[in-house]
Structure 1
Amino acid sequence: MSFEKAHQAFVDGHLASRGGERKGRLERGHGYAEKLFLQNVWWPLFGSFEHLHPEYEVYDWNRKSQFLDFAFLPALGRLGLECDGFQSHVKDMDRQSFSYS
Structure 2
Amino acid sequence: MNFSPLDIILFGIAGLLGVGFYGLLITRNLIKTVMMLQILIKAVVLALVFAGKVSGNLGLGQSTAATVIVADTIVAVVGLALAVQVRRRFGTLDVPKISTLKG
TM over 0.5: no
Structure with higher RCO (Cα < 8 A, 6+ apart): 2
For the aligned pair, the TM-score class normalised by the smaller chain equals under 0.3
Normalized per residue, the structure richer in strand is 1
Could you tell me the TM-score, scaled by structure 2's length? 0.27
Normalized per residue, the structure richer in helix is 2
Could you tell me the TM-score, scaled by structure 1's length? 0.28
Structure of larger gyration radius: 2
